[in-house]
Amino acid sequence: MKNILFIASECVPFIKTGGLADVIGSLPKYLNKEEFDVRVIIPKYACIKDEFKSQMKYVNHFYMELAWRQQYVGILEMEYQGVKFYFIDNEFYFQGYAPYGQIYEDVEKFAFFCRAALSALPIIPFRPDIIHCNDWQTGLVPVYLHDTFQANEFYWGIKTIMTIHNLKFQGIWNKKQVMDITGLSEYYFTSDKIEAYGDANYLKAGIVYADYVTTVSKTYAEEIKNSFYGEGLDGLMNARANSLCGIVNGLDYDEYNPQTDPYIFKQYSAMDFRKEKVKNKREFQRELGLTVDDRKFMIGICSRLTDQKGLDLVDCVIEQICTEDTQLVVLGTGEAKYENLFRHFAWKYPDRVSANIYYSNDRAHKLYAGCDAYLMPSLFEPCGLSQLMSLRYGTLPIVRETGGLKDTVYPYDEYGNTGTGFSFSNYNAHEMLATINYAKHIFYDRRREWNKLIDRAMAQDFSWNNSARQYEDLYRRL
Residue-level pLDDT at 143: 98
Q: Are the CB atoms for 390 and 306 separated by under 8 Å?
A: no
Using an 8 Å Cβ cutoff, are 397 and 435 in contact?
A: no
For residue 4, the surrounding DSSP H or E stretch is strand 2-7
What HEC string does 347-370 produce?
Answer: HHCCCCEEEECCCCHHHHHHHHHH
Distance in angstroms (rounded) separating the CA atoms of residues 178 and 172: 9
Residues 6+ apart with CB under 8 A from 113: 9, 43, 88, 93, 137, 138
Radius of gyration for the chain, computed over Cα atoms and rounded to the nearest angstrom: 23
pTM of the full predicted structure? 0.94
The backbone torsions φ and ψ at residue 63, rounded to the nearest 5 degrees and listed phi first, read -110, 140
State the pLDDT at residue 273: 97
pLDDT of residue 258: 98
Distant-in-sequence, close-in-space partners of 259: CB < 8 Å, separation ≥ 6: 267, 268, 269
Amino acid occupying residue 191: S
The C-alpha atoms of residue 478 and residue 456 are separated, in whole angstroms, by: 36
Residue 369: φ, ψ to 5°: -85, -30
How far is residue 348's CA from residue 343's CA, in Å, rounded to a whole number? 9
Rounded to a whole number, what is the distance in angstroms from the first to the last CA of the chain? 14
pLDDT at 119: 98
Kindly list the distances between the CA atom of residue 374 and the CA atoms of 43, 49, 309, 329, in Å, as whole numbers in the listed order: 35, 32, 13, 10
pLDDT at 17: 87
What does the alpha-carbon distance between residue 350 and residue 141 come to, in Å, rounded to a whole number? 51
Instruction: Return the pLDDT at 19.
Output: 85
Domain annotation for the chain: domains and CATH numbers: 2-250+465-477 (3.40.50.2000), 273-462 (3.40.50.2000)
Instruction: Read off the pLDDT of residues 61-113 as tens digits, 9 standing for 90 and up.
Output: 999 999 999 999 999 999 999 999 999 999 999 999 999 999 999 999 999 99
Q: Residue 98: what are its φ and ψ, rounded to 5°?
A: -145, 155
Instruction: Say what the pLDDT of residue 230 is.
Output: 97
Per-residue pLDDT tens for 367-424? 999 999 999 999 999 999 999 999 999 999 999 999 999 999 999 999 999 999 999 9
pLDDT per residue rounded down to tens, the chain (478 residues):
999 999 999 999 999 988 899 999 999 999 999 999 999 999 999 999 999 999 999 999 999 999 999 999 999 999 999 999 999 999 999 999 999 999 999 999 999 999 999 999 999 999 999 999 999 999 999 999 999 999 999 999 999 999 999 999 999 999 999 999 999 999 999 999 999 999 999 999 999 999 999 999 999 999 999 999 999 999 999 999 999 999 999 998 988 999 999 999 999 999 999 999 999 999 999 999 999 999 999 999 999 999 999 999 999 999 999 999 999 999 999 999 999 999 999 999 999 999 999 989 999 999 999 999 999 999 999 999 999 999 999 999 999 999 999 999 999 999 999 999 999 999 999 999 999 999 999 999 999 999 999 999 999 999 999 899 999 999 999 9
Which are the contacts of 158, defined by CB distance < 8 A and separation ≥ 6? 127, 128, 129, 130, 131, 145
Please give the DSSP secondary-structure letter assigned to residue 192. T
CB 165 within 8 A of CB 23: yes
| CA distance linking residue 162 with residue 145, whole number of Å | 13
pLDDT at site 130: 98
- Residue 18 confidence (pLDDT): 83
